[in-house]
């Protein structure tokens, strides 16, 4: 049976109404509300669930704040994820938001929507916001399945996600490839040339080819320069089989990349003078700066090193590869993502119509 009683503070001031539901075979459920009618409504809903046999224990979710749940997530879940270094930064930012003080069970879609507006006001882009929401959503799924919070509804599923901007469609046009490579030779950055050509031949990500460092936040929120990729190693290369095996990729899945004859030739011409086993003895940060300088020298505008992955993926389709074959090389998990990286030239498609 349910009982509704007033709750007072130390000065005997009424602060709310506590509802208690006591039913044989069930643990005692209780919750305090500011209004008596809300306490009565809650008690009736609990009793109805018990009558129908669909009652679920809410105590854990109703007494665990989002901040505390995020701390547990940081201790138990993030260490098992390959993207943990990046996710810890998103997690700490969630903990600083007003929503973090709320109990897990009390957070609704409108609360998450408010957080989205906060992030937009802070200048965060749609994709960054989506990554923050992905972490929060996974936290709720874990809490529901593994942390005795089976009554939880995932509030992230109730909000509209920021719309991603249309993907870049920048490809090399006309004689840009020739001009870019010539600029590398003229600008005393010939070491950049094989990295550019290898990226075009393989569609590998910059972090898969090159050693990469980023500033990530530690547990206290301080920025720390951290290596996030070792880059391609000679031990990953099998020249006889013409493959490069990548054990650590952005999406977390290992893959083996087939190498073209041109890619093999590039590798055979590279010196093996790096003690740490790297194929390309430089970092993505150095490549990025040198790439921008050479583009300027060659008179090429709005071209990024990452655009070479778009170029390579599109060339695979122009060579006749089907989506399954292309995705096996590039590592795209979904056709939608593969489509964002594929930009076929209309003039090339027109030739196939003859």
Categorize the per-residue pLDDT at 221 as very low, low, confident or very high, splitting at 50, 70 and 90: low
Q: Helix/strand/coil (H, E, C) string of the chain?
A: CEEEEEEECCCCCEEEEEEEECCCCCCCEEEEECCHHHHHHHHHHHHHHHHHCCCCCCHHHHCCEHHHHHHHHHHHCHHHCCCHHHHHHHHHHHHCCHHHHCEHHHCCHHHHHHHHHHHHHCCCCHHHHHHHHHHHHHHHHHHHHHCCCCCCCCHHHHCCCCCCCCCCCCCCCCCHHHHHHHHHHHCCCCCHHHHHHHHHHHCCCHHHHCEEEEEEECCCCCEEEEEEECCCEHHHEECCCCEEEECCCCCCCCEEEECCHHHHHHHHHCCCCCCCCECCCCEHHHHHHHHHHHHHHCCCCCCCCCHHHHHHHHHHHHCCCCHHHHHHHHCCCCHHHHHHCCCCCHHHHHHHCC
CATH 1.10.150, domain 66-158, yes or no: yes
Verdict on whether the full-model pTM lies above 0.75:
no
Q: Does the annotation mark 10 as catalytic?
A: no
- The residue from 341, 343, 351, 352 that is catalytic is 341
- The residue from 250, 255, 274, 340 that is catalytic is 250
- The residue from 171, 205, 217, 278 that is catalytic is 205
Categorize the per-residue pLDDT at 202 as very low, low, confident or very high, splitting at 50, 70 and 90: very high
Domain ranges of the chain: 2-55, 66-158, 176-352
pLDDT at 135 over 90: yes
Q: Does the annotation mark 214 as catalytic?
A: no
pLDDT at 217 over 70: no
Q: pLDDT value at position 84?
A: 63
pLDDT at 127 over 90: no
Question: For 284-320, what is each residue's pLDDT tens digit?
Answer: 899 999 999 999 999 999 999 999 999 999 999 888 8
Q: Which CATH number fits domain 176-352: 1.10.443.10, 3.90.650.10, 1.20.1050.10, 3.30.1330.10?
A: 1.10.443.10
Q: Does the annotation mark 332 as catalytic?
A: yes
Question: For 91-105, what is each residue's pLDDT tens digit?
Answer: 999 999 999 999 988
Q: pLDDT value at position 97?
A: 94
Q: Does the annotation mark 297 as catalytic?
A: no
Question: For 255-270, what is each residue's pLDDT tens digit?
Answer: 999 999 999 999 999 8
């Amino acid at each position: 049976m349910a009982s509704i009683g007033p709750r007072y503070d130390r000065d005997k001031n009424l602060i709310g109404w506590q509802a208690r539901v006591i039913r044989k075979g069930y643990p005692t459920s209780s919750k305090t509300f500011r209004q008596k009618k809300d306490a009565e409504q809650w008690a009736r809903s609990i009793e109805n669930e018990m009558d129908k046999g669909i009652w679920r224990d809410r105590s854990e979710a109703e007494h665990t704040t989002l901040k505390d749940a995020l701390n547990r997530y940081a201790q138990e879940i993030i260490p098992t994820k390959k993207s943990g270094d990046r996710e810890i930064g998103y997690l700490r930012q969630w903990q600083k938001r007003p929503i973090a003080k709320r109990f897990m069970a009390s957070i609704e879609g409108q609360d998450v929507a408010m957080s989205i507006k906060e992030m937009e006001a802070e200048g965060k882009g749609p994709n960054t916001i989506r990554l923050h929401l992905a972490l929060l959503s996974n936290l709720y799924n874990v809490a529901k399945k593994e942390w005795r919070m089976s009554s939880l509804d995932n509030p992230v599923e109730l909000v509209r996600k920021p719309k991603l901007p249309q993907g870049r469609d920048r490809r090399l046009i006309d004689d840009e490839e020739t001009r870019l490579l010539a600029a590398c030779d003229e600008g005393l950055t010939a070491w950049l040339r094989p990295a550019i050509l290898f990226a075009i031949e393989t569609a590998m990500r910059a972090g898969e080819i090159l050693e990469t460092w980023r500033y990530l936040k530690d547990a206290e929120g301080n920025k720390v320069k951290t290596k996030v990729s070792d880059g391609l190693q000679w031990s990953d290369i099998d020249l006889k089989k013409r493959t490069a095996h990548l054990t650590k990729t952005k999406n977390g899945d290992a893959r083996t990349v087939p190498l073209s004859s041109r890619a093999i030739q590039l590798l055979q011409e590279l010196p093996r003078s790096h003690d740490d086993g790297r194929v390309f003895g430089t970092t993505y940060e150095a490549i990025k700066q040198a790439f921008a300088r050479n583009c300027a020298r060659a008179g090429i505008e709005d071209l990024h090193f990452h655009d070479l992955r778009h170029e390579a993926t599109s060339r695979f389709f122009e060579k006749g590869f089907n989506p399954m074959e292309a995705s096996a090389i590039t590592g795209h998990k979904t056709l939608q993502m593969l489509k964002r990286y594929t930009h076929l030239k209309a003039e090339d498609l027109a030739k196939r119509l003859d």
